[in-house]
Amino acid sequence: MKKLTDEAKARLRPRSRLVHLGRDAEASQGFVSVPPFRGSTVLFPDVATLKSRKQRYVYGTHGTPTTEALSEAWTAISGAAGTTLVPSGLAAIVVSLMTALNAGDHLLMCDSAYQPARIFCEATLKRMGVETTYYDPLLGAGIGALMRANTKAVFVESPGSQSLEVQDIPAIAAEAHARGACVVADNTWATPLFFSPHAHGVDMAVEAGTKYLSGHSDLLLGLVSANAQWFPRLAKTVDQMAIPPGPEDVFLALRGLRTMELRLREAERQALALARWLKGRPEVERVIHPALPDDPGHAIWKRDFTGSSGLFSVVLRPASEAAVAAMLDGLELFGMGYSWGGFESLVIPFDCTAYRTATRWAPGGPTLRFTVGLEDIEDLKEDLDRGFARLAAAA
Ligand SMILES: Cc1ncc(COP(=O)(O)O)c(C=O)c1O
């Protein structure tokens, strides 16, 4: 088998990239996958090499063949200049903001961001002299009116956590760049397979690899890809913080990478089928899924995205907390838990009213977030059907 040249790699379509990038059989003694390199110490053959600072690997915190394999593949599928790896998705948000911001700077953060990211802004960033203003995620080019002379970063998450607002990222990026601010995106829902962040104006794109890259709910990992302008600064920041992910987690993520497209496409198909079924249920007021034609975010989703993942939300018709608990507590296939993107279906009740500050979230009924896994869709419907019967009985 001929070794892939850089030109040949660049020609590959996304599916082939997932299979062939980030591995080198020659360097792995002929084995297909790169093993999990474990280690702190890296030995140097002589004083000259040690002093030259040119050896490829120098210390465990600065990268291994395993971390490089995943970074290389992720960079290629993201259309980025480089990727850094950290131990969780939240850590990826943290390092991207630490890269973009200095004391005295101002950050614009979408009101729909993953809530723990808000806590980091309100506690640590504030302590370090960075002020955060939350903005309506649907502002689009209107973001310009909120920008100050010291606004150095605009954070987007599209679709937003739980409420799934789709943002006009190109319009936001144009305004941010015109005023010298960096655009950071949490791209976890779409992954680079369904939304090309850097082609749409994002400077640094965060992925919680914990979700679809892992695909099996058995690891935590964060990735930040960056364009050529931001990658050197990102790489330096992460290197200085010395927070590498564990080698087994990176190894498992590389394994997940090989099947990510298949799993995502299946999650998309299953989620759409379940979303359409839920839309027809009398207990459901509204289904929030950007790929459904009547969703408020559909037009922008259709323009910018190439697929939808397995995560969506629903608003139920008004029901008591006890009735919703009776519905959820008795489910046999849908687990209840905060992470998502694995092979198994999940549902959680959520309520954004408690922490949104720039927008008012008033759905008009209890809200549920679904993650659709790989079970037979008819089994999932039957599980929910019995759940709706419990909801009605407890009303
Ligand atoms: C949109 C989004 N971003 C980031 C994260 C954080 O990922 P992790 O759990 O790996 O810290 C999550 C986790 O649920 C998430 O939903």
Q: Which residues contact 84 (CB under 8 A, 6 or more apart)?
A: 71, 95, 223, 224, 226, 234, 235, 238
Whether 112 lines ligand 1, by a CB cut-off of 6 Å, is no
Whether 220 lines ligand 1, by a CB cut-off of 6 Å, is yes
Cα–Cα distance, 303 to 301 (Å, whole number) = 5
Cα–Cα distance, 106 to 130 (Å, whole number) = 6
Whether 169 lines ligand 1, by a CB cut-off of 6 Å, is no
The pTM (predicted TM-score) of the whole model is: 0.97
Q: Which of 85, 86, 88, 90 to mutate to test the pocket of ligand 1 (most atoms within 8 A of CB)?
A: 90
Reading the chain (395 residues) residue by residue, the pLDDT tens digits are 888 998 999 899 999 999 999 998 888 999 999 999 999 999 999 999 999 989 999 999 999 999 999 999 999 999 999 999 999 999 999 999 999 999 999 999 999 999 999 999 999 999 999 999 999 999 999 999 999 999 999 999 999 999 999 999 999 999 999 999 999 999 999 999 999 999 999 999 999 999 999 999 999 999 999 999 999 999 999 999 999 999 999 999 999 999 999 999 999 999 999 999 999 999 999 999 999 999 999 999 999 999 999 999 999 999 999 999 999 999 999 999 999 999 999 999 999 988 999 999 999 999 999 999 999 999 999 999 999 999 999 98
Ligand 1: which residue has its CA nearest to atom 14?
A: 339
CA 98 to ligand 1 centroid distance, Å: 17
Cα–Cα distance, 105 to 380 (Å, whole number) = 48
CA 112 to ligand 1 centroid distance, Å: 13
Cα–Cα distance, 105 to 85 (Å, whole number) = 25
Whether 350 lines ligand 1, by a CB cut-off of 6 Å, is no
Write down the residue that tokens 């092979």 correspond to.
343
Q: Which residues contact 200 (CB under 8 A, 6 or more apart)?
A: 169, 170, 173, 304
Please name which of 243, 264, 261, 260 lies closest in space to residue 252, comparing C-alpha atoms.
260
CA angle 178, 180, 184 (to 5 degrees): 100
Please name which of 102, 190, 110 lies closest in space to residue 150, comparing C-alpha atoms.
102
CA 369 to ligand 1 centroid distance, Å: 14
Q: What is the pLDDT of residue 354?
A: 85
Neighbours of 371 (CB within 10 A): 24
For the CA of 90, the closest atom of ligand 1 is 11
Q: What is the pLDDT of residue 395?
A: 80
Q: What is the pLDDT of residue 154?
A: 98
Whether 90 lines ligand 1, by a CB cut-off of 6 Å, is yes
